[in-house]
Amino acid sequence: MQQKLETHDLTDQQLDESYWLVTHWTKIQREVTIAIGVLAAIFFIFTITRVVFLYALQADSSEKFVNDLKISLAATQSFPQPELGLGSVIAIPSGASRFDAIVDATNSSDDWRASAQVIFTVNGVDQPTDEVLLFPGDTVPAVLVGGVGGTAQKVTARVGDTDWRRLTASEIALLKERKNISIKDVSFSTHPETGISTSRFTVVNASITSLWEVGLRVILLSAGRSVGVNRATIEKLDTGQERTVEIRWFASLPPVDDIRVVPQVDFLDPRAVRETPSPIQRL
């Protein structure tokens, strides 16, 4: 008996397509494999090309960095760090085997900032150091209060560790805006009975920034000669604010006719600047 092939009601076209797929399946697999291999080769070539390009770019950047570093070093050598100048040491007796001392440190450069230690010495023995901050053109007194170990005539001073930093043009411009602290209403009086003297002066912050702290070097002068030295500190001095400072002096002093007050503030240090609310924010 003849057996009939089940076609599940397929059309002639569907049968032809199925036959073609069966007879060409091996060829299709081979062509797909070739296509995948070609794509993999293209991706590999692209990856290698990109790696080579990035390496060349990095090498060029490194060479540029080295060249810039050489130029920077050459510029530094062309503009060597200046030296800090020290004046004559003035020693002021303040008791038995005790003394105060003062020496002016000067930064004569045009665009260098110096933070330096000044070391006072008596008979070869170092006293506590004083740190001074000098912007271009500054003269700042380094002071020693309560020195011990010898007579006032044997005190010397030398510059210790110094941190020099060359300022940029923008920093110099900013310094001109911020460095504006003035002293006014200077007076000095001595109580006729106790002999205790009092110096008074007013510190004015006319700069554009409020400050957390203002250090002061205070020197009493008699006929141009230093006869007393001390330090003081003002905290939270806002822009436009005035603050009166009063210092008492218990040692016997000659007639004082002037007071030299030198502020010490790192105007370029963000930590020294105190952010204050504007008038609109206060409302």
Q: What is the pLDDT of residues 217-245, one digit of tens each?
A: 999 999 989 999 999 999 999 999 999 99
Average pLDDT score over residue span 63-69: 58
> Cα Rg for the chain, rounded, in angstroms?
40
| Between 10 and 157, the higher pLDDT residue | 157
Average pLDDT score over residue span 86-100: 82
Phi and psi of 103, rounded to 5°?
A: -145, 135
Arithmetic mean of pLDDT over the chain = 82
Residue 53: predicted pLDDT:
73
Residue 282: predicted pLDDT:
44
Whole-angstrom distance, CA of residue 162 vs CA of residue 168: 19
Whole-angstrom distance, CA of residue 25 vs CA of residue 199: 108
Whole-angstrom distance, CA of residue 263 vs CA of residue 84: 19
Average pLDDT score over residue span 30-53: 81
Examine the pLDDT at 262 and tell me if it is beyond 70: yes
137, 180 in Cβ contact below 8 A? no
Average pLDDT score over residue span 66-81: 56
Residue 154: predicted pLDDT:
79
The pTM for the full model equals 0.66
**Tokens encoding 258:** 């002037």
**Which of 70-74, 105-109, 179-183 has the least mean pLDDT?**
70-74
**Which of 96-100, 133-137, 195-199 has the least mean pLDDT?**
96-100
Share of residues in the chain with pLDDT > 70 (%): 78
Residue 280 has what DSSP assignment?
H
Residue 260: predicted pLDDT:
95
CA proximity to 226, closest of 97, 99, 101, 96: 101
